[in-house]
Amino acid sequence: MTGLPNRNLFESELSRWLDRAQRVRRPLAIVFLDLDRFKLVNDNLGHSAGDRLLQEMSRRFRQAVRSDDFVARLGGDEFIFILPDVHDAKTLLPVISSVFEACDYPVEIDGQPVRVGLSMGVSFFPQDGAEIKMLMKKADEALYRAKEKMGNAFICFSERN
């Protein structure tokens, strides 16, 4: 529906990217992204409106990231990015800012402007782990913390939180 890779393709790609990152000793970031208020769109405007919103957001995400970044849709309103050569919040910020900017303006659906926010959780290879499950778990924990802060935020995983 969105033209993005699904969860299965993402996991095989992440495995490949992690193998390469370990081999050449390069960092990468995993970004879990969830649309804030997506359920309200489905509930109030219907699932076809939600589908069109997902299609537009997918297009915007692909345009907002760098050409060598990987974007996938895990399901529902959950997306995930693989960002090579990103090792901390400072190197992450330009990409995250671009993603937020791409979503600053509403999506018009059936003549109605629809706005959603974004919540993002981030983990970094190698400091947050070297295995797929650990990196995804930590990015998911950070996403949960971002959503707790009322959304429209990104949080990098930290053992302290």
- Do 88 and 28 form a contact (C-beta atoms < 8 A)? no
∠43-71-14 over CA atoms, to 5°?
120
pLDDT at 150 over 90: no
Active-site positions read 77
pLDDT of residue 85: 94
Query: What is the tens place of the pLDDT at every residue in 50-62?
Result: 999 999 999 999 9
CA 135 to chain centre: 13
The model's pLDDT over 20-29, given as tens digits with 9 standing for 90+, comes to 999 999 999 9
**H helix runs in 25-131, sequence order:** 38-45, 47-64, 89-102
Domain boundaries, given as residue ranges, for the chain = 7-156
Task: Flag whether the pTM goes above 0.85.
Answer: yes
Residue 144 tokens read as: 């949960």
The whole-angstrom separation of Cα 40 and Cα 60 is: 20
Q: How confident is the model at residue 151 (pLDDT cuts 50, 70, 90)?
A: confident
Q: 7-156 belongs to which homologous superfamily?
A: Reverse transcriptase/Diguanylate cyclase domain (3.30.70.270)
- pLDDT tens sequence across 78-131: 999 999 999 999 999 999 999 999 988 999 998 989 999 999 999 999 999 999
Report d(CA 102, CA 71) in Å as an integer: 15
pLDDT for residue 54: 95
